[in-house]
Amino acid sequence: MEASWLCEVKNSLISYLGESEGCSLSIMKLSYNNLLDYLKPCLLYMGMYPEDARIPVSKLISLWIEEGFVQNIESGILIEEATEGYLTKLISNNLAIVSEREYNGKVKLLIASFNLWIGREVG
């Protein structure tokens, strides 16, 4: 009796987790689809990092600039500042996770997270 009950619980959990993962993927796809067009390549670019990797923001910003993701900058704004604005928008949309901040509040490290799933689904 007890063994069958444990099997039922296990099967229910497996079923629930499978549904939960599908629901999470749907939410992530919705977040990506509603993201501003100019931020999409930045988010997808973060997908090249392994999940849970620590991403140095200074390096990421340099790479985004080199790739030409940052465009149409207002006069008087440095390209690095505009790129940090892109990152801030991704963070505020909960699409990038801050791992560490500098003493002045600037983001120092990010954690690669679900963007891998989005990259697989979109790409």
Residues paired with residue 55 on neighbouring β-strands, in sequence order: 110
pLDDT tens track for 29-78: 777 788 898 998 888 888 778 777 888 888 989 999 999 988 767 777 78
Number of folded domains in the chain? 1
pLDDT tens track for 6-31: 556 545 544 544 555 555 666 677 77
Query: Is residue 63 included in any domain, yes or no?
Result: yes
60-85 exposure pattern, b = at least 16 Cβ within 10 A, e = fewer: bbebbeeeebbeeeeeeeeeeebbbe
Query: Is residue 27 included in any domain, yes or no?
Result: no
Q: Which domain holds residue 91?
A: 36-122
Query: Is residue 73 included in any domain, yes or no?
Result: yes
Integer Cα distance of 112 and 93 in angstroms: 15
